[in-house]
A and B are shown apart, each in its own frame.
Chain A
């Protein structure tokens, strides 16, 4: 097969670019721990209020500067509506839905996941700057969707 010199140039550039993207994605996944927000943990969506730990949603300290935030999403809000952590804290969010599909996005961070009824989704973030972080639902869930919000206060 005859390849034109220019074709060789752009094929080389294209393959090298693709290789660079794949290597970065691999480093991100295997060395930096990036993964999808769900570990396929199941829950009966009709019995969220009776299933621990979601029967008592809230913040729990699990180590120095490390917290577990157990949260539920429902039409139209999150429980708890506000959580407070000190600067430098790593918070592991564990969220499930009591009714329909919701979104869980912390504005200005990489935390952005769907909250699907029947599944428990998790995401972690280290809050290095003080402020009031908005958690919002970014999946249209009904007439009061725009009211659905919670806050992380970092002091």
Chain B
């Protein structure tokens, strides 16, 4: 029983790692979008001062 449990856990862990790659990409894309928007507004604010 103990032998069968260990590989299952590892397999589940690998699936977890793979499924987060897309999440990381989408979080970074959204983050970049927010930072670019913020920089745009801030530069506009500075040039109008």
Chain A interfacial positions (CB closer than 8 Å to B) = 4, 6-7, 9-10, 13-14, 17, 21, 24, 108-110
Alpha-carbon separation in the docked complex, A108 to B17 (Å): 50
A7 contacts which chain B residues (CB < 8 A)?
A: 20
Q: Which applies to chain B's interface (DSSP): helix, strand, loop or mixed?
A: helix
Q: Check if A13 sits within 8 Å of B48, measured CB to CB.
A: no
Choose one: A4, A14, A108, A109; the contact of B31 (CB below 8 Å). Answer: A14
Chain B interfacial positions (CB closer than 8 Å to A) = 16-17, 20-21, 23-24, 27-28, 31, 34-35, 38, 42, 45, 48-49
How many pairs of A and B residues are in contact by the CB < 8 Å rule?
26
Alpha-carbon separation in the docked complex, A109 to B27 (Å): 34
Q: Which applies to chain A's interface (DSSP): helix, strand, loop or mixed?
A: helix
Tell me the nearest residue of chain A to B25, going by C-beta: A6
